Amino acid sequence: MGKKVFEVAENEQLFAGKVAGDCWKMPKVSINRQVSGRYYFTDKRIAFLASGLIGTESVSWEIEMKDIDTVKTCTTPPFFPFGILITMKNGDKYKLSILKRKKYYEWISSQIS
């Protein structure tokens, strides 16, 4: 099976792609652990494609902007100020860790307002 590739749909605009970062929390994964990968931000969705050789599909995800309830800044382990906590309308939570988080936090906030 080939590596998953992110593609921008015809009806969406790419804000930022191939942004290196980590994901510390996601639904359907019982433990909170650091998973490295790349983020893709469009006006319709956020995608995280985990990097590595084995098992990356199970920790890669994609969420729709319309399904996001709240977004706030947070810390990532141990106490780094790189985190963005996204809470979905169904209660699922995603914790992103990304450099220059202010840029992405403000952009996500503007998309869900």
For the chain, give every domain's residue range: 14-112
As to burial, measured by CB atoms within 10 angstroms (0-12 exposed, 13-18 middle, 19+ buried), residue 84 is buried
Question: What is the residue-level pLDDT of the chain in tens, covering all 113 positions?
Answer: 445 778 788 889 889 988 999 999 888 776 667 889 999 999 999 999 888 755 667 788 899 999 999 999 999 988 899 999 999 999 999 999 999 999 999 999 999 87
According to the CATH classification, is domain 14-112 in 1.10.20.10?
Answer: no
Q: Which of these, 79, 76, 75, 83, lies nearest to 101 by C-alpha position?
A: 83
pTM equals 0.86
- CA dihedral angle for residue 90, residue 96, residue 102, residue 47, rounded to 10 degrees: -70
